Amino acid sequence: MDYFEKTELELAQKEPDDLFTDTPPKQNWVSRLSFIWLLGLWQISQSMILIFNQPHDKINLWKISLFLMIFIACVWLSYRWARKHQLIPAITWRYFQPGKIAAGFGMMFATAMISGAVMYFSGTNNTENQALLEDIGKKLPPLVFFIMTTSAGFFEELIFRVGPFELLFNKWPKIAAIVAWGLFTAAHAPTDIPSFITYGLMSLVLTGLYAKYRNFYLNMSVHFLWNAFGMIGILMSM
C-alpha cells in the first residue's frame, strides 16, 4: 500500500479544501533523475507528428493508428512513472471538482482577455508559438492535431507542475513555484512583451492552482479544457 492509498481513510474525514495538502514521501537523486524518463516520453509523443509529412497523410489510417498506439503508450508509462514515485494519487472522480475546474477555466479566460488587450494596443496579431501551432494544424489530420494539442493538459502539468513541486524541489515550495512558472513560460518561447505576458499569465494561473490545491487532476482538467477551447476555434477556421 503506497502513500496515497494509506491516506484514503483520512481524506474521507477532511474538508474538501484540505483534500490535496498531504506531502508525498521524500525523494532521492535516483527518483529525481528518473524525471529524464518523463521528458523522453513527452518528446516521443510529440515527435510522432513527423510521420505526417505529406498532405495525403490526412487519410492515411495506418499512420493515424500508429500515432494513437504510441501516444497512448506514452501516456500510460508516464502515469505509471508518476504513481511509482507517488507523485500523484490514483485517478478517481473525487479529484475532479467541477467548481474548481470552472473557476480555473474562468481565470484562464480572464488572462486571455488581458493578453488580448495588450496585443491590441501593441499592434500584435498573434504569438509566434500560436502561429506555428496553427501552421502545424493545417498539415495534420484533425484528430491527431486535437490529441497532440490537448495532451498538453497531461504532459505539461506532470512536467511543469508536479515535477518541480513533488520531485525536483519538494523541500522548497517557493523555489518550485518559481521554477514551474518559468519553465512553462519559457517552453512556449515568448518572443516579445505581448507573448511573454500571454504565457506568463497562463503559467501564473496554472502554477497558482497547483500551489494551492496540489491536485494534478484539477490542473490537467483546466489545461485540457483551455486547449480544447482553443483547438476547436482553430479547427473551425480551417
> Which of 188-227 are b and which e, b meaning 16 or more Cβ less than 10 Å from the residue's Cβ?
bebeeebbbbbbbbbbbbbbebbbebbbbbbbbbbbbbbb
E strand or H helix at 204: helix 193-213
Residue 22 per-residue DSSP state: P
- Taking residues 165-194, report their average pLDDT: 91
Query: Which is higher by pLDDT, 151 or 223?
Result: 223
pLDDT of residue 237: 65
Q: Considering only CA atoms, which of 58, 44, 51, 237 is closest in space to residue 130? A: 237
Q: How high is the mean pLDDT of the chain? A: 84
Q: Are 200 and 180 in contact (CB under 8 A)?
A: no
Region of poorest pLDDT, from 5-9, 133-137, 162-166: 5-9
pLDDT of residue 186: 92
Count CB atoms within 10 A of the CB of residue 16: 10
* Per-residue 3-state assignment (H helix, E strand, C coil) for 33-83: HCHHHHHHHHHHHHHHHHHCCCHHHHHCHHHHHHHHHHHHHHHHHHHHHHH
CA distance 233 to 237: 6
pLDDT of residue 201: 95
Q: What angle do CA 191, 176, 13 make, to 5 degrees?
A: 130
pLDDT of residue 62: 83
pLDDT at 100 over 80: yes
pLDDT tens digits along 202-235: 999 999 999 999 999 999 999 999 999 888 777 6
Burial of 122: CB neighbours in 10 Å, binned 0-12, 13-18, 19+: exposed
pLDDT at 74 over 80: yes
CA distance 22 to 11: 9
- pTM greater than 0.75 (yes/no): yes
pLDDT tens digits along 20-69: 545 566 777 888 899 999 999 999 988 888 787 665 555 678 888 888 99
Mention every residue, 6+ apart, whose C-beta is less than 8 A from residue 111: 198, 201, 202, 204, 205
- Taking residues 143-156, report their average pLDDT: 88
pLDDT of residue 55: 57
pLDDT at 6 over 90: no
pLDDT of residue 138: 77
pLDDT of residue 192: 87
Query: Which is higher by pLDDT, 53 or 164?
Result: 164
